[in-house]
Chains A and B, each alone.
Chain A
Amino acid sequence: MLFQGIGAAGGSFSLVPWVVFLPVLGLLLNLLIGKRLGERGVGWIASLAVGAAFAVSALLAFSLMQHPEAVRVPLFDWITVGDFSASWAFRVDTLSVTMMLVVSGVGTLIHIYAAGYMHHDVRHNGEPARYTRFFVYMNLFIAAMMILVSADNYLMLFVGWEGVGLCSYLLIGFWFEKGAGEIANAKAAKKAFIANRIGDFGLLIALFLIFWNFHSLQFDEVFRQAAGAQPWVIRAITLFMLLGVAGKSAQIPLYVWLPDAMAGTTPVSALIHAATMVTAGVYLVTRTHVLYSLDATSQSTVAWVGAATALFAATIAVGQYDIKKVLAYSTISQLGFMVAAVGMGAYVGGMFHLITHAFFKALLFLAAGSVILGMESGQEVAYGHGGHGSSAAHEEFDPQDMRNMGGLRGRMPFTFWVYTIGSLALAGIAPLSGFFSKDEIMVAASQMNPAIFVILLLAVFLTAFYSWRQVSLVFFGSSRTRAAGAASENAPIITVPLIILAVLAVLGGLINFPGVNTLSGWLEHTLGALPEAAFNPLIAGVSLIVALAGIAAAWLSYGRQTATRPNRLDPIENNAAPLFNALAHRWWVDEMYQAVFIRPYQAIANFLAQVVDQGLIDGIVNGAGVVSRAAAQGVRQIQTGFVRSYALMVLLGVVAILTYLIVWRVP
């Protein structure tokens, strides 16, 4: 029912491989001749490659408007073993094209922004030659993400899934020799990779189960057979898949990697760790909705994991001072909203929030990057440029610490406005995009599960609170350091993408405006008929009031903050120190993991390495060496070098054989 020939569907569907080929082309160009092109050329090529992929995605979207049924575009047979076959085939349906548009659209803006941002960043970190490498990785990421969202079977999806994980690793560790102790960034990259591997393990098990039970990994084939499968099989598949989702989309219990991933440069945080890659888990659940809707237990597990993550991460975000860490926990929290939504069957709500979140969170991250750049330039102005005497101050100064900021509204008015728009959209204030998407999730929660509704409502309050806390600390009050006082606004290449994203963050709600429901109608072609998420004025009013209350609370706590003491400025810290301590230390989850999992693991590894490997196995190997050496030492005495002795030995053998034959063998 879903298959249509390409010829019947119109020409532009066959363009779909180019969404992958174009970024690959860009990265190959940059890889091979990037050194000669210079920074400007590299940035152009990378941005154009992603922009062209966006154009192709838009063409596909227009084609789908006329012909909304899914189209399968096989490229070549990939694996054929016995009766199993997996082909490298692209799937064009409303869901995948939506993801393509988000990835390439936001990706293009972030590439343009990064072309300007990295110019400063590579100089700030003292190695301009890595500029090209950054864009090669970024294009590789876009290509992998496109493979992930356009895959027609789980195996190809898994390739993209691993590809984005690899790019995430490479980009988190982009300045791998930097960070605390010159190893913090490399450690963060490793942590992200390992946490993702745990999730990938779950996804792999799910894929094995799918293959074992359905003998296929092709989406339609799996979904067609799913109805007749054993209930426990479906449950096992969906729960193992949830582990993969928890890894990639940073849900409890595997979310710990995402805050550390902020070691990556800011455009990376915006693109990979906020807008696109981390939403892959949401996409996966949505793509596999047929299986999830067959098992209520799995669905409610997904919903509860999402809701718990949403609230938990939101509490932690309140206690952070690093501007990017706040956004990181906010991302985890918002991903929790999405996962909760898809867990409750509100797939459209989840996808809607995914899109709007991509807009406003990319906006927030890029604006935060703009703030950081402004702080760095302000610091250089304030402390002199490259003077030897300022090196100590240079080392200690953290341009990402909000305690060092304050009063930037006057210094960076433009950044202030886009940041405020992003924060309000994140907080869910009408009529910005976040309001509509979050509202849809809240409506679904109120219908499905009141407990989850309450949890999410709390998370909404905290979201508004920490969003406005951040705005207050960064932009209001007075400058708390000389660097903040000397910060300056950035060049248009930084600000133009911010404007576009701000416009999208404002208008994003129109994608699925209540009553019009464009996105619902659009995704219905892929997801089938879904329960109508009707606009409920009561729910909307409640969540809006809660969000406004959060903003008001934050404004009361931080807005009048004029203290110039950088170390003791948080009212929560002053009035409820133990609570703030817990928040600031992320509820000691990292320490708990360290104690419960990593220490015993390292102990086992040490035992195996030192006792078993170095003691036992090396002992066996060395023992074999010693024995054969000793044996050789004995035997080599025979090897005298005298030809006559050798001749004697030959004769001895001859005589022995002859005598043996004569005495024992001859009758």
Chain B
Amino acid sequence: MPGSPIVFFILAIVAIGTALGMLISRNAVYSALLLALNFAAVAMLYLTLGAPFIALSQVTVYAGSIMVLFLFVIMLLGAERLQPAEVLRWQPYVAIPLVVILAADFAYNLFRENTEMLKVAVPSADYGTPAAIGNMLFTRFMLPFEVTAVILLVAVVGAVVLAKPDRPARPRSMERSDNPTPSKPVS
């Protein structure tokens, strides 16, 4: 059942549809919700590819925490809609042809006559199980694993520093443009 083309096509249509929806939607909240749905569909695809651990990570990390974070920021800032004022008028006329060429490149690469490579091998029984993944992570990939821990720590500290409210003792003239600076002479 998981390997059947019907499942794949349903999921693929959902994934592409939600992605296009995200792209088109004028409201950022809708975009975020559609992207969460997209992530869920891709997680299902991971399952069909024999990657249950990655699929669950995808759901918890992406669809769960990251997208919640996005929604939270969108609602915090109240920035779900923008004024329709296009500054770079010529941007789409350059971007779209380029993207088309890129897609053509991808397609050419995928469907060259040499399709031998694209046959999917039948994996071993414990392929992709959390136990197998964990075994690899804590043996061969121990050092990168620890490094990612440090990266996350750095990200936490950075986010805290960035998001910390400004102290009044250290005014930034850039952002307080509406307040006259104390050094300005009173005329």
Chain A residues within 8 Å of B, Cβ to Cβ: 642, 644-645, 648, 651-652, 654-655, 658-659, 662
Contacts and interface: CB of A to CB of B under 8 A. Distances in A.
Given A662-B108, A662-B109, A651 B91 contact: no
Nearest to B97: A655
Contacts of A644: 88, 91
Contacts of A652: 98
Interface stretch (B41-49, B59-67, B99-107, B163-171): B99-107
B85 to A, nearest CB: 13
Contact of A658 (B88, B94, B95, B105): B105
B174 interface: no
A651 B92 CA distance: 13
Given A644-B88, A645-B88, A662 B105 contact: yes
B92 to A, nearest CB: 10
Contacts of A645: 88, 91
Interface in B82-121: 87-88, 91, 94-95, 98-99, 101-102, 105, 108-109
5 contacts: A648-B98, A651-B95, A651-B98, A659-B101, A662-B105
Task: Return the 8 tightest CB-CB contacts between A and B, nearest first.
Answer: A658-B105, A655-B102, A655-B101, A655-B98, A651-B98, A662-B105, A662-B108, A648-B95
Q: Is the interface of B mostly helix, strand, loop or mixed?
A: helix
Q: Is the interface of A mostly helix, strand, loop or mixed?
A: helix
A651 B109 contact: no
Q: How large is the interface on B (under 10, 10 to 19, 20 to 34, 35 or more residues)?
A: 10 to 19
Contacts of A654: 102
Contact of A642 (B88, B101, B109): B88
A655 to B, nearest CB: 5
A655 B105 contact: yes
A648 B98 CA distance: 9
A659 B102 CA distance: 8
Nearest to A657: B105
A662 B112 CA distance: 11
Given A648-B98, A651-B98, A655-B105, 7 more contacts: A645-B91, A651-B95, A651-B99, A652-B98, A658-B102, A658-B105, A659-B101
A648 B97 CA distance: 11
A161 B27 CA distance: 89
Which of A644, A645, A658 has its CB near the most chain B CB atoms (within 10 A)?
A658
Nearest to A651: B98
A652 B91 CA distance: 12
B86 to A, nearest CB: 11
Contacts of B87: 642
Contacts of A662: 105, 108-109
Contacts of A655: 98, 101-102, 105
Contacts of B108: 662
Given A642-B87, A642-B88, A648 B105 contact: no
Given A651-B98, A652-B98, A659 B91 contact: no
Given A662-B108, A662-B109, A648 B91 contact: yes
B95 to A, nearest CB: 6
A642 B86 CA distance: 12
